Amino acid sequence: MIALLLRDLKLAFRAGGGFGLGLAFFLIVTVMVPFAVGPQSSLLSTIAPGVLWLGALLACLLSLDRLLALDWEDGSLDLLATAPLPLESVVTIKALAHWLTTGLPLVLAAPFLGVLLNLPVPGFFWLVMSLLIGTPAMSVIGTFGAALTVGLKRGGLLLSLLVLPLYVPTLIFGAEVARRGATAMEVQTPLLMLAGITAATIALLPFASAAVLRINLR
Amino acid sequence: MSIAAKANALWEYANPRKFLATSERVLPFFWITSLACICVGLIWGFFFTPDDYKQGSTVKIIYLHVPAALMAINCWLMMLVTSLVWLVRRHHVSALAARAAAPIGIVMTMIALLTGAIWGQPMWGTWWAWDPRLTSFLILFLFYLGYVALWEAIEDPDTAADLTSVLCLVGSVFAILSRYAVNFWNQGLHQGASVMRAAAVTGADTEEKVSNVFFYPLLICIIGFVLLFIALVLYRTGTEIRARRIKALMARERVGG
């Protein structure tokens, strides 16, 4: 399992592309927002939590179609499926690798971009917390979407269409935590809901992803 | 007949031949009754009910809006059940019925959204508001689109049936989750459900009750939409079965000559 994780991480870092892509996209979106909506700092600080969450979500979405497609193309997915490791663990590791290469950098970059968007000071902690808790769910849900569309020639658009409605609850609760944190309101309820969604998706969705992958590899 | 025997009798319709024969026999009944119900309900509703004292004649859009919204949700439920049947018992008719129902669900969702917008413009002063119910329907609409797109994108029919069934199961969980998330996110403009609540219908004329004057034509419209939905699903499933057969025949011809 660890070997597989290391392999995926190495591929993401070395083969160029995978690693920096999401982060660069996140950076571009947040830097472009003030040009689009105007430089008033009060407006920017109001929309900052939502913009940062949306940017993180889209950045996650962007790297999803590489998640399984490359392994599918060169046949290593077939090898993984016949390996002694259960397919459920394979997809979990894949999701973990995706999170480490996409989600975690986003979480780390978010506070710096928050400065650019004039995020209120109490918001920083809750922004990082909500992203830290929420992005694993996005990776796991994204793995399910990638497993659904892995056999298709041009699965990219379909993948986004399938995954976007699945992201809605995560986005709502995550952005709500960040928003309430920024305005110094009580965050417990959305935070617990967000954590619940993440825990439930990590626990259950790998089984669905593995089942779907088995159908696709048939 | 015992319950087990009855259950077994139900599974006989998983045989496409039996399904086609029976659906052909009952289809005219469903077409005619649904047409009659919708005609009676709409004409009664549009021309023989008084205008609401607050909403004027716009209230009458309820005769399209409520049945369509009801069927949009129930259509997804039906797809969920048939997907489960396909995953557990591998009856092809079941998978095809789910496939046949999805576009009907899309149309029903669109009718509900459009009539709601047309009603909302004079009543709320806006075509669209990010109200929980409206938003949930938009999300449901996205789920339908993704489901149909996945069916269309995959060539092998069994793989497509498997994948869409799993998507339907996972999607149902997330759809319910979204419903609650959206409720939490914004308290809405939309009135609560007032038609299907027992107290609202059978009770005395209270504030929130839909008045009987409006309720009876609405009930007829709902029955009409249910019958229309059944008729459409049976009809489209029959079409899917025949399309599958033609494909099989053509494949046989190519191979055997």
What value of ipTM does the predicted structure carry? 0.87
Q: Cβ contact (<8 Å) for B146 and A189?
A: no
- Quote the distance between the C-alpha of residue A200 and its chain's center: 16
pLDDT confidence of residue B6: 64
Chain A residues within 8 A of B171 when measuring between CB atoms = 165-166
Chain B residues with CB under 8 Å of a chain A CB are 139, 142-143, 145-146, 149-150, 153-154, 159, 162-163, 166-167, 169-171, 174-175, 177-178, 180-182, 184-185
Q: Alpha-carbon Rg of chain B, whole angstroms? A: 21
What's the helix, strand, coil split of chain A in %, to 5? 85, 0, 15
Taking the C-alpha atoms of residue A25 and residue B8, their distance in angstroms, rounded to an integer, is: 57
- pLDDT tens per residue across span B102-115: 999 999 999 999 99
Name the residue among B143, B153, B167 with its Cβ closest to that of A152.
B153
Q: Cβ contact (<8 Å) for B170 and A205?
A: yes
Tokens of B180: 């609650």
Asked whether residue B199 carries a pLDDT value surpassing 70, the answer given is: no
Highest mean pLDDT among A96-105, B9-18, B120-129: A96-105
For residue B62, list its beta bridge partners.
none
pLDDT confidence of residue B101: 94
Q: For testing the chain A interface, which of B88, B137, B170 should be mutated: the one with the most A CBs within 10 Å?
A: B170
pLDDT confidence of residue B210: 64
Residue of higher predicted confidence among A175 and B10: A175
Q: Cβ contact (<8 Å) for B182 and A172?
A: yes
How would you classify residue B15: left for phi > 0, otherwise alpha for psi between -120 and 50, otherwise beta?
Answer: beta
What rounded mean pLDDT belongs to chain B? 84
The shortest C-alpha distance from A10 to chain B (Å) reads 31
pLDDT confidence of residue A208: 94
B40, B220 contact by CB (below 8 A) = yes
Name the residue among A169, A208, A212 with its Cβ closest to that of B181.
A169
Name the residue among B139, B149, B166 with its Cβ closest to that of A212.
B166
Q: Integer distance in angstroms from the first to the last C-alpha of chain B?
A: 48
Mean pLDDT by 10 residues, chain A (218 residues): 77 67 87 88 88 91 83 84 87 90 90 87 90 94 92 82 92 90 86 93 94 89
Look at the block and give the residue holding tokens 């892509």.
A21
Q: Cβ contact (<8 Å) for A165 and B142?
A: yes
The shortest C-alpha distance from B92 to chain A (Å) reads 16
φ/ψ (deg, to 5) at B52: -70, 145
For residue B56, list its beta bridge partners.
B52
Residue type, B42: L
Tell me, yes or no, whether B73 lies in a domain.
yes
* Count of structural domains within chain B: 1
Taking the C-alpha atoms of residue A132 and residue A190, their distance in angstroms, rounded to an integer, is: 14
Tell me, yes or no, whether B40 lies in a domain.
yes
Question: Quick one: DSSP state of residue B59?
Answer: G
Question: Quick one: DSSP state of residue A83?
Answer: S
Chain A residues with CB under 8 Å of a chain B CB are 144, 148-149, 151-152, 155, 158, 161-162, 164-166, 168-169, 172-173, 176, 189-190, 193, 197, 205, 208, 211-212, 215-216, 218
Chain A residues within 8 A of B180 when measuring between CB atoms = 169
pLDDT > 90 in chain B, percent: 44
Tell me, yes or no, whether B115 lies in a domain.
yes
Tell me, yes or no, whether B197 lies in a domain.
yes
Q: For testing the chain B interface, which of A168, A185, A192, A198 should be mutated: the one with the most B CBs within 10 Å?
A: A168
Q: What's the domain range around B128?
A: 27-247
Q: How many CB pairs under 8 A join A and B?
A: 75
Name the residue among B149, B154, B166 with its Cβ closest to that of A208.
B166
pLDDT confidence of residue B189: 57
Name the residue among B153, B171, B174 with its Cβ closest to that of A169.
B174
